[in-house]
């Protein structure tokens, strides 16, 4: 690649030369029929693909397939046994996430411009593909005609796009418009196309009722509202983007992304039954007290000229925190004391002028408020009544376990990676032993260990729900892999950076937090995205433990319903497609973001 000096004097890397656009005939000749061997390969692969597609479509759309099993049970797949009367909670949570998504898309300026020529090309290829698939699939005559009409519509769209592109080559469409348009048309079909109303009646013996007509009102209305929420949030984001300081808005939004799932799970979906007396007279005063006193202490401790006395005070607070286990006391106080001790121990690293010190104190305030209501919410019994221990299952369980695993394993992985690369032999020994041990055994043995054995290791009277102990095990497992990814990033930070940080007089912790880690984390984003997708996929192992995740619902719950006995294959196919869509779109999106941010190009 050649380097061209841009006007600002910054070297830009020229894009590789585009392949010349060949007319169809020459393209075919070059790519498919360049010589005898190539022609043979083309014919053979076409035959193989067509027969494979024929087999697959025959399998998927054969007359003996009970796709009703999936359609009727879609509720089971998404939220398992969550009570229907409380469904507003689910819709509220979903809407919250959509608002965040819409805001983020606006504030990070998501989406790309897609030229109409490219749109035309993809519409053509989708149309031709769909036409061939419909021709191969064993559909009824009316079904074939309907789908072929749809394929014709795609081809027509391609033609129109091509005309637009021919008029003006620069015309393009935002990919967000395309996304919203697609979603809107899918939701519009809910209102107009008679998919049929499927519902379950009866508790003991589930009986399926399928009526002709469009889907139930309780399905299509919320989905339509969700679409409007998404679009509204996007425009709100555009308005906010121009009014607010960009950096702060972005970090606040990131914070919301981290906090809102926990908030939704514990406050919205779990519906804790707060006793107002306890909350008003114990929890709130406690949190307020720690907030005020802690902020003052931390503000004082971050004073740069403080010296030894800061450390001593921090150690005293920490000692008080650990010592509080000797006397009967509320658990929440002990946790807050230890947290305050750790915060004040880290205080010298964050010392600086007044605004820096105020920010550190406000971080503490935010932490204490979130930790306070989280602890209160977790300790309050849930009012959601479902059969079994968990109020969530299906895709919700899969996503929640994946979320918590990722959230817990990243900080732990960073600590392990730092310990493994530190120059202190005992830290290194402990970290290396842990990482290598965990990486040497399969995930399933660790999950079984934590679901079967962890209750035995806990002190008497302490009980963890199975899903919690399994998530802890999964997070520990995942942390070992995260640590290895981050170690790669840490090793790619050059020596000069260490030396420069030392030269300006930073302490080891300041050097690590402000210089080394930001660069190392940036370098390790691509492998970490891959690891996150892997984590989501491997939550399917919860099936073996016997938790009601997506796979369990598809493999064991639905095929055991009297109406749908023997519908395993349909359900498995549906589960695979669901997983495929999630992980494929995640990996594609991350690739695009990496390319845009220019990761891994330094």
Binding mask 131-160 for another protein (x = CB under 8 A): ------------------------------
Residue 32 interacting with another protein (CB under 8 A): yes
Residue 54 interacting with another protein (CB under 8 A): no
Q: Tell me the C-alpha distance between 198 and 563, whole Å.
A: 13
Size of the site for another protein (CB under 8 A): 55
Q: Tell me the C-alpha distance between 280 and 169, whole Å.
A: 65
Q: Tell me the C-alpha distance between 382 and 388, whole Å.
A: 13
Residue 538 interacting with another protein (CB under 8 A): yes
Site for another protein in 407-426 (CB under 8 A): 423-426
Site for another protein in 568-597 (CB under 8 A): 568-569, 572-573, 575-576, 579-580, 583-584, 587
Q: Which of 71, 95, 155, 430 binds another protein (CB under 8 A)?
A: 430
Residue 395 interacting with another protein (CB under 8 A): no
Q: Which of 24, 212, 440, 461 binds another protein (CB under 8 A)?
A: 440
Decide: helix, strand or coil at residue 22.
coil
Residue 17 interacting with another protein (CB under 8 A): no
Decide: helix, strand or coil at residue 198.
strand
Sign of the alpha-carbon dihedral angle for 265, 266, 267, 273: positive
In the bound state with another protein, the residue whose beta carbon lies nearer, of 183 and 572, is 572
Q: What is the dihedral of CA 380, 385, 390, 395, to 10 degrees?
A: -120
Q: Tell me the C-alpha distance between 547 and 568, whole Å.
A: 18
Residue 541 interacting with another protein (CB under 8 A): yes
The per-residue DSSP string of 311-351 comes to: HHHHHHHHHHHHHTTTS---HHHHHHHHHHHHHHHSGGGG-
Do residues 372 and 340 touch, judged by C-beta distance below 8 A? Answer: no
Burial code (b: 16+ CB inside 10 Å, e: under 16) for 204-222 equals eeeebeeeeebbeeebbeb
3-class SS shares of the chain: helix, strand, coil, % to 5: 75, 5, 20
Residue 325 interacting with another protein (CB under 8 A): no
Can you state the angle between helices 116-136 and 141-167, rounded to 10 degrees? 160
Residue 427 interacting with another protein (CB under 8 A): yes
Q: Which of 185, 460, 503, 602 binds another protein (CB under 8 A)?
A: 460
Residue 548 interacting with another protein (CB under 8 A): no
Candidate ranges 223-231, 297-305, 450-458, 520-528; the one touching another protein (CB under 8 A): 450-458
Query: Rounded to the nearest whole angstrom, what is the least distance from the CB of residue 439 to another protein in the complex?
Result: 7
In the bound state with another protein, the residue whose beta carbon lies nearer, of 10 and 424, is 424
Residue 42 interacting with another protein (CB under 8 A): yes
Q: Which of 14, 22, 29, 34 binds another protein (CB under 8 A)?
A: 34
Q: Tell me the C-alpha distance between 224 and 288, whole Å.
A: 41
Q: Tell me the C-alpha distance between 211 and 207, whole Å.
A: 13
What is the CA 535 to chain-centroid distance, rounded? Answer: 10
In the bound state with another protein, the residue whose beta carbon lies nearer, of 50 and 293, is 50
Binding residues (CB under 8 A) for another protein: these are 31-32, 34, 38, 41-42, 45-46, 48-49, 308, 423-427, 430, 437, 439-445, 448-449, 452-453, 455-460, 533, 537-538, 540-541, 543-544, 551, 555, 568-569, 572-573, 575-576, 579-580, 583-584, 587
């Amino acid at each position: 690649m050649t380097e061209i000096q841009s006007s600002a004097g910054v070297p830009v890397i020229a894009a590789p030369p585009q392949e010349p656009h060949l007319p169809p005939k020459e393209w075919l000749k070059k790519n498919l029929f360049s010589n005898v061997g190539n022609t043979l390969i083309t014919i053979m692969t076409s035959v193989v693909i067509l027969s494979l597609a024929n087999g697959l479509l025959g399998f998927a759309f054969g007359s003996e397939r009970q796709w009703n099993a999936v359609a009727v049970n879609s509720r089971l797949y998404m939220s398992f046994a969550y009570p229907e009367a409380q469904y507003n909670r689910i819709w509220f949570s979903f809407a919250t996430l959509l608002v965040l998504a819409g805001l983020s898309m606006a504030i990070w300026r998501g989406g790309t411009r897609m030229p109409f020529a490219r749109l035309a090309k993809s519409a053509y290829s989708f149309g031709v593909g769909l036409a061939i698939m419909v021709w191969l699939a064993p559909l009824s005559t009316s079904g074939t005609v309907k789908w072929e009409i749809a394929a014709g519509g795609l081809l027509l769209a391609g033609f129109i796009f091509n005309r637009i592109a021919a008029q003006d080559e620069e015309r393009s469409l935002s990919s967000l418009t395309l996304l919203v348009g697609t979603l809107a048309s899918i939701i519009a079909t809910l209102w107009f196309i008679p998919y049929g109303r499927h519902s379950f009646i009866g508790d003991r013996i589930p009986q399926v009722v399928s009526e002709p007509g469009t889907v139930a009102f309780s399905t299509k209305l919320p989905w339509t509202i969700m679409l409007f929420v998404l679009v509204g949030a996007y425009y709100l984001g555009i308005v906010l983007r121009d009014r607010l300081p960009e950096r702060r808005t972005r970090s606040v939004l990131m914070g919301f992304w981290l906090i809102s799932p926990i908030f939704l799970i514990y406050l919205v979906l779990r519906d804790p039954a707060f006793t107002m007396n306890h909350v008003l007279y114990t929890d709130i005063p406690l949190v307020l007290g720690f907030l005020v006193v802690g902020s003052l202490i931390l503000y004082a401790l971050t004073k740069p000229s403080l010296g030894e006395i800061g450390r001593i005070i921090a150690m005293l607070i920490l000692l008080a925190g650990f010592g509080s286990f000797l006397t009967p006391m509320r658990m929440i106080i002990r946790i807050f004391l230890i947290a305050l001790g750790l915060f004040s121990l880290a205080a010298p690293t964050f010392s600086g002028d007044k605004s820096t010190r105020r920010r550190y104190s406000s971080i503490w305030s935010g932490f204490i408020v979130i930790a306070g209501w989280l602890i209160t919410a977790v300790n309050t019994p849930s009012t959601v009544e479902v059969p079994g221990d968990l109020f969530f299952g299906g895709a919700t369980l899969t996503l929640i376990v994946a979320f918590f695993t990722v959230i817990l394993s990243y900080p732990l992985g960073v600590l392990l990676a730092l310990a493994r690369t530190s120059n202190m032999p005992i830290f290194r020994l402990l970290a290396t032993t842990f990482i290598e041990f965990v990486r040497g055994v399969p995930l399933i043995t660790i999950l079984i260990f934590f679901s079967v054995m962890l209750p035995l290791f806990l002190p008497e009277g302490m009980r963890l729900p199975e899903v919690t102990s399994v998530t802890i095990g999964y997070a520990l497992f995942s942390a070992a892999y995260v640590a290895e990814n981050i170690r790669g990033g840490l090793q790619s930070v050059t020596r000069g950076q260490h030396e420069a940080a030392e030269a300006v007089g930073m302490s080891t912790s300041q050097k690590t937090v402000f210089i080394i880690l930001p660069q190392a984390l940036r370098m390790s984003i691509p492998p970490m995205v891959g690891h996150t997708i892997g984590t989501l996929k491997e939550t399917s192992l919860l099936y073996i433990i016997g938790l009601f995740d997506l796979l369990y619902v598809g493999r064991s719950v639905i095929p055991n319903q009297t109406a749908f006995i023997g519908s395993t294959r349909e359900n498995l196919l549906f589960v695979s497609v669901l997983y495929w869509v999630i992980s494929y779109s995640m990996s594609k999106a991350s690739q695009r973001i990496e390319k845009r941010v220019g990761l891994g190009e330094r």
